Structure 1
Amino acid sequence: MTKSFDALFRAACGRESDLTFAPFEYQRRLATDSWNGEAWPDLLNVPTGLGKTAAVTLAWLYKRGWRAGERSEIPDACTPRRLIWCLPMRVLVEQTERSIRDWLSRLGIDGDVGTGKVSVHVLAGGAEDVKTWAEHPEEDMILIGTQDMLLSRALMRGYGMSRYLWPVHFAMLHNDAMWVFDEVQLMGPGLITGVQLEAFRRELACARNSRSLWVSATLDRAWMKTVDFDPDALALLQLSEEEKSAETVSARRDSIKPLAACSASLRADGKAALASYFQELATQVLAAQRQRPGTTTLAILNTVARAQGLFDEITKRLSPPPSKKRKGAADDPPSLSDAPELLLVHSRFRAQERKALNDKLATLPNPHGPGRIIVATQAVEAGVDLSSRVLFTELAPFTSMVQRFGRCNRYGEFNGSADAQVHWIDVADSKPYEPSELDETKRLLAPLSSVSPAALPPIEAAAPLFPVLRRKDFLDLFSTEADLSGFDIDIAQYIRDADDADVLLFWRDWSDADSAKNQASAHADELCRAGLGAANELLKRLKAGDVYRWDTLAREWTAVPHLGKPRLRPGMILMVRTTAGGYTEKRGLSPESSEAVEPFKAAQTDALTAEAMDDDRRSLLAQEVSLTRHLKDVGNEAETLCESLKVPDAAAVTRAARWHDVGKAHQAFQTMLRDAHQQGLQQDLGDGLWAKSGGNYRGRVNYQVAGEDKPRKHFRHELASALAWLAQHDDEPDADLIAYLIAAHHGKVRLSLRALPNETEPPDSRLFARGVWDGDVLPAFHLSDDETLPEIPLHLDIMQLGGGRMGPSWTTRTQRLLKRHGPFRLAWLEALVRIADWRATRAEQEADSEH
């Protein structure tokens, strides 16, 4: 068993023929041992630079039965199909993705979803981050994302994605999912939220086995204690004493890292103090680099603004205007050919600029050249495979300092020389940390002359205080309905510190308000994270019409009002006019910059706008499909999917699938399809009832009923389907579950049922909701070859609280389901119906396009 893992490890690292190359012993134990009868430990505490990412990923592949070229062993039943890397920073996401893709490629088992290989997906928000990976719950895959993107989805409030897909991602992230929380000391409230989610999964039960693994070089299990979770019994994997003394490990644990206080410091607040600080620190950094050409000098500052300020000062020193150069001066900057490469690294860049930076970080500077200077924020603090010869770092909490020290002489490569050096910088401005944290760090650093891992004192920091997500609050999040004012429950406090919460910005060019309203959705690669403070700073200097947000009811981008006091919420996506500025390619997010922003080119090829409440784009496709055929196809897909996953509630899922679109027989929907087909192909759709129109029409549509003056605004066919089901089957044991699965198959009708703002109201005071009026009748039609539905009147008494002629209200029924099945199992069943619908639709379109 050990030999087979060693072979997998060598192949993944490209060293299959080198039998002397082997994993660290802890990596081998992670893949082959068990802990209290479990396949995995709960905690992994290993010093930085010892390959934790490789250890977990390759152990997961091994336990899932993968070997070089194929899956040749039966997967371990206790190792979930989806490996989820939850990381505190975006730069770690991109590095982790690159490493994992390299390992899978060398093993020959990487592939797209649907190919039976192992696929890799970065959850970053944007138009393309929709259902691709979630459509294949039976496949092995690796998901990678920041705590913002992953925890928001795990809380049913996914940042940067369609709100109507929240339930599917929620289901896939809580069932058959192995969460790896890496660099937990940087996660703030995200650590406690991850702990609480694990507690809830254990208490409320999942449809599929799921588990968590917490990883860090500075891990204290006491930080994980909550009212719902006791970490004392968690199984821990760490280096044994024998492993610590091994040559390959000791070279890193005992790496030479002399420590000294930096003569430059930030002594006071204010612009003058900052300018003086940047000048002094730039002098120190440049001097260190000139003394050690061919290597990397790293300066880590605590805020993006200060990192940008130091970067600007060094840039000015390296290439000043020709008129200011002074020949013969001792501190003259080098010529451009002799100047070190200068990089700025922080989390406020778009993906295209981040990729260029990451590509450079992945390579070493020319040892015979001037070398490299990197100015960075906490973005390089942990996990980044980066080693400098000299490190300058502002004071931070001690756990963060330990991680930063790991960026100097990381692998002991400078142990043979005496000039590796770490300089700590005193700062009067403690933000984003607390003054007491920096005082404690100074106390711990005072007696130290070296910060090699072996010389550092143990971590004894008290557990920080963060809001704790309680069970009731978590269950409340299962409802995805916005409140009456159009807002959602704010989950930001459970994901990041308030000072570090983000919105997402992207820049587009438009000529007038009409062209702004119809812009395509944001592409993940054009999104830029912005802290709430920085975003407010940018918006306050812009003028009306420069910033837009997506309105799901109006189905268009709408101008953000009151830019002087914008109501920003974490995870919100804002579209900014390119001419308004706010971003530069070299500095990243720059609220003060009025320089026009170059828009992201690929985004303009995206033809779809963001999804709206009455959006039925999945019914407006290239090939028309009859209603009877589509219901049969979706039922068959559901049956196949449930069989492959061995779903206990397969009968309910399959039956819901066969009924999910019955409401499309409603005249309002059929009229909409016929109009769309006519406008897309300039021809009639033909007789009968239809599920999909042809022509790929993307204009506005109306849901019209004959004899009515106004169209049925916000019509939802899935509500009509659920009402029809209850009208025929309300006396069956699983009637409520099937009705819920039918209603929820687009994520727009779920736990509650009420009319929406601006709906078309009946003239006679009948009940109405989502475009369905009490008393509407669905026509008779063939549901399948052996079942014909009669005409079915639709009634909406179910939307009223209390009992009525339809029995318990919709709210009462769905709350019973939530209590009976729990949020994880209910969302899982909900997702299976939706996935069956997606698969059937895709297969229909592909099959018909071939004829």
Structure 2
Amino acid sequence: MTIRHEQLEAGKFFTSSFLALTGYPPMPWQARLFGTHFVSGSLPEAVSIPTGLGKTAVMAVWLIGFAWQMRNQAAPSLPRRLVYVVDRRAVVDQSTIFAEKLREALATPAANELRTALGFTEDQKLAISTLRGQFVDNREWLENPSRPAIIVGTVDMIGSRLLFEGYGVSRRMRPYHAGLLGADSLVMLDEAHLVPPFEALLATIASGPHVYGAHTKEDRKRIPEFKVLPLSATNRNSGADVFALEAQDYDDPADEGAKRTRKRLDAVKRLRIETAGTRNLPQAIAERAWEVSGEGVNDVRCLIYCDRRDDAQRAFDDLLDRLIRRAKTEMRKAKGESKEQHEVRVSVAVQERIELFVGARRVCERQQAQKRLEALGFLADSKSNLGSATYLVATSAGEVGVDLDADHLVCDLVAWERMVQRFGRVNRRGRVSADILIVAPPPEAPKTKLPDKLQIAALSDPSKPVKPKKPGKKATTEEYGAYSQAISRFNREEADYKEALKLFKDKQKRQQKAEDNYQEALAKYREDWAPTILYKERISLLERLNGDASPRALLNLLANTVADTGFAHAIQACSTAVPLRPALSRPL
């Protein structure tokens, strides 16, 4: 079989298998990722794809790639275990749901070829386990280490096991968990930009098997590889081997996958930034959400983001009050209905149209939240049947990890990578014309003034006099006289030197004190003005979008970072700082 023929066969196998697993044909970027990397097992440094273009489906790409290698290679180079790590899941884990759908689809007749390639019998199923707090590990991934498996877990649950700890794992089982997760496993880190320390930890483990793995080279050859693949819409890694969207992934006018990609890339998202001062930010956000939704009349889904939980609660209360007042004018009292009964009926009707979505939820609350979001139409591909405006007020808990979709967005100003995530939660499918309004009043300007630049005169050390040498025993009277005069001069010069040295040290101390005071004042100035400077930088960066927050506009903006290092530094300055982390050592 020639290389060209093998590529064609692999492409056909991928297309048919992907359709059987997901119910829809693959997007061109997914097919390119499979053909370029997963067929050979040579994975990129990271996958950076805009929100809404199916990053989670990389699970299916791995499964099909492993099946292809099982059928065509004696020893697959792709790991047989996929570890999908998620940092935040405020509702029931949608990654687990997607994995379970893959398992269900794998059992259908349409996926017979894929099942055969994987070596599954009729009664065998794809092992799927969820490792996260408040979920019980079903241990399917431990039953048969030779069987392909998908493990979905949080950073702490997966990370602790890799480091031979493990929450809820007995001491005897910790080496087993560490071994199975640390060998023959591909860790996909979803939204990797949220946890750069954990991403660095995984990269260190993957790149240093000679340091952290088996001691001998022969033993290391016997152990299947541990691989890492970060996934993110706002990837911090700018390396040459980052897999990203290319023109060939959406240019073909006849390809259905390219059409879907273009539609989502060009989704209309009109961006407006309101920088007028306001004393009450939550109230201003609620007012703009009320206006963009036609004062609650239009049949739209309005998403509101607040950075602080208190602000989210106050914005929620404000909108709830507006809805109640409107409902009271529209829902008149029924005959024989008391005032209390009427208010209860109004309250129930209004609460069906608004939800507050924050973190720190228990399992049952996450399940209820999922049902509420679906009823309100805020989950992707769901739709509200209320016929009027619905509202979702959220904190950062709704920025990632939840497949939200809204018609309009009103929010405050946060770090750049979080703004990109927020933009991706509106008009994901490109079906409407969305408005995005950022309410960003400037911080109060501090009164601290820039200290005058310190002018320090250069100081020179006083010269120390040299004591004259005493003449020998055979010296003449003249020589002794000259020596006596020299000693007298030396004593005077030494006294002058000591006085000059004292003055020099005093000036040195005064200059050092002035320097310390200047640096302290300068540090205070920078500290006080830091919020204002950061605010201006973030506003300036958003203004570069020229009112267009579509995925294509974001891609075009980020493309400038390759040639313009100054712009790359500007994006870095507007992003959340990468936290410090300890270096990984073998004892650790």
Task: Say if 1:157 and 1:312 are closer, same or farther in 2 by CA, change over 3 A.
Answer: farther
The correspondence of residues 343-492 of structure 1 with structure 2, limited to 5 A, is 343-359=355-371, 360-361=373-374, 362=379, 364-366=382-384, 369-415=387-433, 420-426=434-440, 435=531, 438-447=535-544, 448-456=546-554, 457-458=557-558, 460=568, 461-462=571-572, 464-472=577-585, 475-477=586-588
Give the Å deviation of 1:188: 4.1
Query: Aligned residue for 1:682?
Result: none
Q: Distance in 2 between matches of 1:208 and 1:93?
A: 32
Query: Aligned residue for 1:58?
Result: 60
1:220 to 236, 253, 258: 236
Q: Distance in 2 between matches of 1:144 and 1:200?
A: 24
Deviations 1:639-687 (A, max 9, x none): xxxxxxxxxxxxxxxxxxxxxxxxxxxxxxxxxxxxxxxxxxxxxxxxx
Query: Aligned residue for 1:776?
Result: none
Give the Å deviation of 1:365: 3.2
SS at match of 2:90: helix
Query: Aligned residue for 1:770?
Result: none
Task: Say if 1:164 and 1:278 are closer, same or farther in 2 by CA, change over 3 A.
Answer: farther
Query: Aligned residue for 1:192?
Result: 200
Conservation of the 8 A alpha-carbon contact between 1:396 and 1:437: no
Q: Distance in 1 between matches of 2:428 and 2:327?
A: 39
Larger gyration radius, structure 1 or structure 2: 2
Give the letter for the 2:21 counterpart: A
Q: Distance in 2 between matches of 1:350 and 1:250?
A: 38
Runs (5+) with no aligned partner, structure 1: 16-21, 223-231, 268-275, 478-851
Give the letter for the 2:101 counterpart: D
Task: Say if 1:221 and 1:203 are closer, same or farther in 2 by CA, change over 3 A.
Answer: farther
Matched, 1:261 2:237: no
Q: Distance in 2 between matches of 1:163 and 1:315?
A: 51
Task: Say if 1:305 and 1:115 are closer, same or farther in 2 by CA, change over 3 A.
Answer: farther
Matched, 1:239 2:336: no
Give the letter for the 1:287 counterpart: E
Task: Say if 1:248 and 1:132 are closer, same or farther in 2 by CA, change over 3 A.
Answer: closer
Matched, 1:318 2:323: yes
Q: Distance in 1 between matches of 2:584 and 2:104?
A: 42
Conservation of the 8 A alpha-carbon contact between 2:187 and 2:228: yes
SS at match of 2:268: coil
Percentage identity across aligned positions?
27
Q: Distance in 2 between matches of 1:266 and 1:150?
A: 44
Task: Say if 1:444 and 1:160 are closer, same or farther in 2 by CA, change over 3 A.
Answer: farther
Conservation of the 8 A alpha-carbon contact between 2:285 and 2:411: no
Conservation of the 8 A alpha-carbon contact between 1:340 and 1:371: no
Task: Say if 1:282 and 1:451 are closer, same or farther in 2 by CA, change over 3 A.
Answer: same
Query: Aligned residue for 2:311?
Result: 306
Give the letter for the 1:374 counterpart: L
Give the Å deviation of 1:440: 2.7
Q: Distance in 2 between matches of 1:105 and 1:130?
A: 17
Query: Aligned residue for 2:485?
Result: none
SS at match of 1:33: helix
Conservation of the 8 A alpha-carbon contact between 2:413 and 2:439: yes
Conservation of the 8 A alpha-carbon contact between 1:340 and 1:370: no
Conservation of the 8 A alpha-carbon contact between 1:311 and 1:344: yes
Give the letter for the 2:53 counterpart: L
Conservation of the 8 A alpha-carbon contact between 1:65 and 1:75: no
Give the letter for the 1:7 counterpart: S
Matched, 1:12 2:21: yes
Give the Å deviation of 1:322: 11
Q: Distance in 2 between matches of 1:122 and 1:264?
A: 47
Give the Å deviation of 1:161: 5.2
Q: Distance in 2 between matches of 1:165 and 1:189?
A: 26
Q: Distance in 1 between matches of 2:75 and 2:355?
A: 44
Higher relative contact order (CA 8 A, sep 6+): 2
SS at match of 1:373: strand
Q: Distance in 2 between matches of 1:213 and 1:369?
A: 43
Task: Say if 1:216 and 1:465 are closer, same or farther in 2 by CA, change over 3 A.
Answer: closer
SS at match of 2:393: strand
The correspondence of residues 554-593 of structure 1 with structure 2, limited to 5 A, is none
Conservation of the 8 A alpha-carbon contact between 1:130 and 1:165: no
SS at match of 1:370: coil
SS at match of 2:572: coil
Deviations 1:328-365 (A, max 9, x none): 9xxx9977547762122233111111122223344623
Query: TM (normalized to structure 2)?
Result: 0.65
Task: Say if 1:468 and 1:424 are closer, same or farther in 2 by CA, change over 3 A.
Answer: same
SS at match of 2:537: helix
Q: Distance in 2 between matches of 1:358 and 1:86?
A: 20
Conservation of the 8 A alpha-carbon contact between 1:184 and 1:219: yes
Task: Say if 1:149 and 1:312 are closer, same or farther in 2 by CA, change over 3 A.
Answer: farther
Conservation of the 8 A alpha-carbon contact between 1:64 and 1:74: no
The correspondence of residues 387-786 of structure 1 with structure 2, limited to 5 A, is 387-415=405-433, 420-426=434-440, 435=531, 438-447=535-544, 448-456=546-554, 457-458=557-558, 460=568, 461-462=571-572, 464-472=577-585, 475-477=586-588
Q: Structure 1 or 2: larger helix share?
A: 2
